[in-house]
Structure 1
Amino acid sequence: MSGYEEERRKREKIVAGLHERASKMTPAELIFKYKGIVYPTVLCSEATFQAMETLKAREDDVLIMTYPKCGTNWSIQILNEILTAIHNKEPTKAFGTLEFGKPETFEQLNQMPSPRLLASHVTYGNTPKTFLEKTKILLILRNPKDTAVSFFHFTNKNPVLPTYESWDLFLRDFINGNVIFGSYFDYHLEWDKHIDDGNILALTFEDMKEDLPAQVRKICEFYGLTLTEEQIKLVQEKSTFAFMKEKYATTHGKMGDVFMRKGEVGDWKSLFTEAQSKEMDAMFEKHLAGTKLGEMMSYGKYCTY
């Protein structure tokens, strides 16, 4: 049995169990709040968040932090290929983001070999302190309009997440921060306060789409890694949307299309009305304009008609 086939069977078994559990829940039961933020009940738990604090950071860990639908899986694929090229073996990875694991997962991760490739959607304040003190963190940003559209399609196609009857209803919750994992704006404002701490590299989804090799070089420099130009080219080839979509069809089965929908810049124009676009513009101007992360997003370039 190939590695992909083994991974697919393991994943399908886990996912089937999650779907079965979610099918027995009411919409209200599908979500819960922890420290004021909404999370999906089937994927997260208070016990898991508390157990996350027991995960011991290592200096050679690679921790990817993203708000949902900002390029999480793409970033994991890129870093997986970089670390594989460096170490001649795939890094240790958790199943999904850290907060999706069961409490006992963290003890298992503590015993697993380096390098470890980890990812999470939690806020700066909910990130285990040991990582904030010891580990270099890669923060991936994406403009709020494309994030919202991708998030809407994702939550409506994923059986374990709450669904929305319309785009209008979803956007209202997104703007007000009432979606799972909380406010897009609060999330980035909190990280912005620490962007100069010295252990955080922020990159944008848009820059990665425009010139991935340049961003791979930034990542390597940040982590003190060295790749040849040939290796960088291979990382790029194995991180294209087409390559990943085919890979996910094998490893994720029917859920592959849920995770790999379009991966485009500018798809927000397919759903936003002019009034909604202006409302998002006002939110960005109020919360993120003038911040370092806000400037990095090149909002005027990617979020205007």
Structure 2
Amino acid sequence: MDRMDDTESIAGILLPGHLHSQQSLQYAQDFQFKEEDIVIVTYPKSGTTWMQEILTLIYSRGDDDIATTVPNWRRAPWLEHIYFKDVIIEGNGPRIITTHLPSDVLAPALQKSKAKVIYVARNPKDVAVSYYYFHKMARFLPNPQPFPEFLEKFLEGKVYYGSWFEHVKDWHSVSQTLDFFYITYEDMQKDLRRSIKKICQFLETPMYSKEVDKVEQHSNFAVMSQNSMVNYTLIPCEIMDHTQSKFMRKGVVGDWQQHFTEEQNKMFDKVFQEKMSDCDLQFIWTLK
């Protein structure tokens, strides 16, 4: 498989070379967004696939045909990935574009456009756990150390895609300069239907109640986890080894409680308070 052990970098963060090249990263930096574009921005393992599915279903008025016949990476391709320029569709109508890139790379271009930006955040304890399991199954990521060591690297921002703290805070800091909608993974878990309605309102795409019913039904985790167009089982095991971990593993809030020791939790809380002291974002750690 191509470039499985290679590394690229942009704006001081490391990226897997299997998915990125200097050419693809330059293309992303030079990309001209259109007014109709919808850009999903996330740190990895924060609900990206979920939002891709929700937006697909909103724009198909709840019809799941495209969601069950076209892979999500073609419906909502990653701006910075090697394949992006070959699949992005030119023409009228909304294009759903996905990115994990930091704000200092993309915000200037987005500020010049009228593209809508949807930022999905997830509490970083669950992100760390999910990202650890993703490292176990994704052959293009480094083999993870035991979880305690991986957690320390995550807190230090010494993982691919950089620091969760910087990603969330930097995008939050430019939100007032963009047509920007912020939602959390936990919001969607608490009330998916309400979240869908809020997204529709932001997109200025009103939907009938029955259409919302269908979007909610088909973007349910249990349904998505069985959909090969979403769960990445189409990817060869040489690239994603599903015997090590499923791509869509649990889809819950608070799974970190099954992995953190009391000492690790205290350490995490201390770092979180230090890193987020200048930011007013609030996160939900568990759902009762």
TM beyond 0.5? yes
Give structure 2 stretches of 5+ with no counterpart: none
Map 1:63-78 to 2 at 5 A.
63-78=39-54
Looking at structure 2, the residues matched to 73 and 227 of structure 1 have their Cα atoms a distance apart, in angstroms, of 22
| Map of 2:21 onto structure 1 | 45
Q: Residue type of the partner of 1:246?
A: Q
| Aligned: 1:117 with 2:96 | yes
RMSD: 2.7
- SS state at 2:61 partner: helix
Q: TM-score, normalised by structure 2?
A: 0.86
Q: Residue type of the partner of 1:192?
A: H
Looking at structure 1, the residues matched to 86 and 18 of structure 2 have their Cα atoms a distance apart, in angstroms, of 21
Looking at structure 1, the residues matched to 259 and 225 of structure 2 have their Cα atoms a distance apart, in angstroms, of 23
| Aligned: 1:127 with 2:106 | yes
Identity value in percent: 28
Contact kept in structure 2, 1:30 and 1:161, CA below 8 Å? no
Looking at structure 1, the residues matched to 250 and 167 of structure 2 have their Cα atoms a distance apart, in angstroms, of 24
Query: Cα 1:287–1:21, aligned 2, differ >3 Å: closer, same or farther?
Result: same
1:89 to partner: Cα distance: 8.3
| Map of 2:148 onto structure 1 | 168
| Aligned: 1:233 with 2:213 | yes
1:33 to partner: Cα distance: 2.7
Higher mean C-alpha deviation, range 185-194 or range 280-289: 280-289
| Map of 1:158 onto structure 2 | 138
1:82 to partner: Cα distance: 0.3
1:107 to partner: Cα distance: 6.7
1:195 to partner: Cα distance: 2.4
Q: Which has the higher helix share?
A: 1
What does the per-residue CA deviation read over 1:22-78, in whole Å, with 9 as the maximum and x for residues that have no partner?
5xx6xxx44333321011111112211101134321111111000000000011001
Map 1:83-122 to 2 at 5 A.
83-85=59-61, 95=74, 96-102=77-83, 105-106=84-85, 109=88, 111-122=90-101
Looking at structure 2, the residues matched to 205 and 45 of structure 1 have their Cα atoms a distance apart, in angstroms, of 30
Higher mean C-alpha deviation, range 160-169 or range 200-209: 160-169
Query: Cα 1:251–1:155, aligned 2, differ >3 Å: closer, same or farther?
Result: closer
Looking at structure 1, the residues matched to 98 and 175 of structure 2 have their Cα atoms a distance apart, in angstroms, of 18
Contact kept in structure 1, 2:38 and 2:97, CA below 8 Å? yes
Q: TM-score, normalised by structure 1?
A: 0.81
| Map of 1:80 onto structure 2 | 56
Looking at structure 1, the residues matched to 64 and 191 of structure 2 have their Cα atoms a distance apart, in angstroms, of 25
1:209 to 170, 182, 189: 189
Q: Residue type of the partner of 1:130?
A: A
Looking at structure 1, the residues matched to 266 and 112 of structure 2 have their Cα atoms a distance apart, in angstroms, of 39
1:291 to partner: Cα distance: 2.0
Q: Residue type of the partner of 1:266?
A: G
Contact kept in structure 2, 1:149 and 1:271, CA below 8 Å? yes
Contact kept in structure 2, 1:201 and 1:222, CA below 8 Å? yes
Looking at structure 2, the residues matched to 157 and 266 of structure 1 have their Cα atoms a distance apart, in angstroms, of 21
| Map of 1:273 onto structure 2 | 261
| Aligned: 1:283 with 2:234 | no
- SS state at 1:247 partner: coil
Q: Residue type of the partner of 2:252?
A: E
| Aligned: 1:187 with 2:163 | no
Looking at structure 1, the residues matched to 197 and 173 of structure 2 have their Cα atoms a distance apart, in angstroms, of 25
Give structure 1 stretches of 5+ with no counterpart: 1-19
- SS state at 2:227 partner: helix
What does the per-residue CA deviation read over 1:186-209, in whole Å, with 9 as the maximum and x for residues that have no partner?
111111212223511100100100
Looking at structure 2, the residues matched to 76 and 139 of structure 1 have their Cα atoms a distance apart, in angstroms, of 12
1:94 to partner: Cα distance: 5.1
Looking at structure 2, the residues matched to 238 and 88 of structure 1 have their Cα atoms a distance apart, in angstroms, of 7
Query: Cα 1:152–1:287, aligned 2, differ >3 Å: closer, same or farther?
Result: same
How many residue pairs match? The answer is 274
